[in-house]
Amino acid sequence: MQSNEMLEVARLALEGKPSDVRLYLAKLVRKARKEDPEYASKLEELLKTDPARSNGILRKNLSAEERNLQRDELSLLRETQSTAEQEPLLDSALEAQLQQILMERQHAKELEHKGLKPTSSMIFQGPPGVGKTMTASWLARQLALPLYVLDLTAVMSSLLGKTGSNLRSVLDFAKSHPCVLFLDEIDAIAKKRSDESDVGELKRLVNILLQEIENWPNQGLLIAATNHPELVDPALWRRFDLDVTFCLPREDNVRKAIVEFLGADLNEFSHLMDFLVDTQKGESYSNIKRTINRLRKLKIINPEEFENSSFKCIIPNIDGLSRQERISFAVKLVSDFSFPKQRAAKLLRVSRDTIRKKIGESQS
């Protein structure tokens, strides 16, 4: 190690910045691989023996001056505490995929004996709000590993000329010890290299990811996520060990989500449960949670008018419903919730005669 490098390590250590020390040493490992492979290997092994979990790569109380330092790589990554016990709501097929990942870690030695290795990289695809981030956090908790989230917005906003080296530094740090690295919205940088509207630096980022993902260490787990799978470079896509698709929740999971989000208020909303499930079909978990929280607040703020005003909250986008859906909801309001026909007709924009006719048909 050269004198200036030793001074930098000493400075960071004496300033009480263990995560910065690890990041700097990871950079030295990359530099030494060509000049002194044996030294690089020993240094890399040291980095793997003592994971720095307490402070994360970013210290929590950065001063304004520190935040403005040109240490761009430190601004790209944050450690997320995955302490919540909440589990993601998953369909059976998706849950089976994730459980196999956990089981593979428990049988790593047996797999290695057969020339196999546990899944070390995967890509999550699906619309926003369906649980991709929560699932990454849950996996980190199940594996008892720290969770790092790469802020790709920061990658894009930093000086493009440095982005490639900064990204390499972050990936080196994550590879230096067992952890879960979550690359959210990977399509922001991993676009198809044939995209002519892209600048050369972004194409270089794809090449960096191509090099790093395929050889991700078995002790860690790399998870990428995208809402726009069609934008991701196919060559990059193929490098991941596993492709995991998240869909909008089915009816049974919609009901489970509503029950979970209602929490202690479940009994107060039990008479609305079927109607809530009907109206929230096709919505993401985040949208369902937003609606349920709004209803809970509405009941506290204005309990007298809750029964009347709640339906406007439950069905905010009347224009987005087909005529048949509007009729169905209007009939349900009148039949199941004793809603006045005139008000149901006005709210759902259907005629009272249509409501009356449909109710008569169902009773005959």
Please provide the DSSP assignment of 157-215 as one string: HS-HHHHHHHHHHHHHHHHTSS-EEEETTGGGT-B-TT-TTS-HHHHHHHHHHHHHHTT
Residue 76 has pLDDT above 70, yes or no: no
The pair of structure tokens assigned to 180 is 């879960």
pLDDT for 39: 80
Does residue 295 or residue 28 have the better pLDDT? 295
Does residue 103 or residue 166 have the better pLDDT? 103
Residue with the two structure tokens 């709501």: 89
Q: Are 155 and 166 within 8 A, CB to CB?
A: yes
Torsion of CA 264, 270, 275, 277, to 10 degrees: 50
Q: What is the DSSP letter of 364?
A: -
pLDDT for 260: 93
pLDDT for 264: 92
Query: Do β-strands 77-80 and 147-150 pair in parallel, antiparallel, or remain unpaired?
Result: antiparallel
pLDDT for 15: 63
Residue 169 has pLDDT above 70, yes or no: yes
Residues 6+ apart with CB under 8 A from 192: 231, 232, 233, 234
Share above pLDDT 90 across residues of the chain, in percent, rounded to a whole number: 29
* Fold exhibited by the domain 76-245: Rossmann fold (3.40.50)
The pair of structure tokens assigned to 51 is 């994971």
Q: Are 155 and 255 within 8 A, CB to CB?
A: no
Residues 6+ apart with CB under 8 A from 130: 246, 247, 248, 249, 284, 285
Q: What is the average per-residue pLDDT within 22-36?
A: 72
Domain edges within the chain:
76-245, 251-363
pLDDT for 63: 40
Q: What is the average per-residue pLDDT within 35-49?
A: 73
Residue with the two structure tokens 């797999």: 111
CA separation for the pair 238, 210 (Å, rounded): 9
Residue with the two structure tokens 């009773």: 363
**pTM exceeds 0.85 for this model:** no
Share above pLDDT 70 across residues of the chain, in percent, rounded to a whole number: 75
Residue 60: band (very low, low, confident or very high) from pLDDT cuts 50, 70, 90: very low
Residue 17: band (very low, low, confident or very high) from pLDDT cuts 50, 70, 90: low
Residue 274 has pLDDT above 80, yes or no: yes
Q: Are 188 and 153 within 8 A, CB to CB?
A: yes
pLDDT for 246: 95
Residue 284 has pLDDT above 90, yes or no: yes
| Count of residues making up the chain | 364
Cα-flanking dihedrals φ and ψ of residue 159, to 5°? -60, 125
CA separation for the pair 273, 271 (Å, rounded): 6
pLDDT for 16: 61
Torsion of CA 43, 49, 50, 52, to 10 degrees: 70
* Helix, strand or coil, per DSSP, at residue 185: coil
The pair of structure tokens assigned to 295 is 């209803």
CA separation for the pair 172, 24 (Å, rounded): 10
Residue 303: band (very low, low, confident or very high) from pLDDT cuts 50, 70, 90: confident
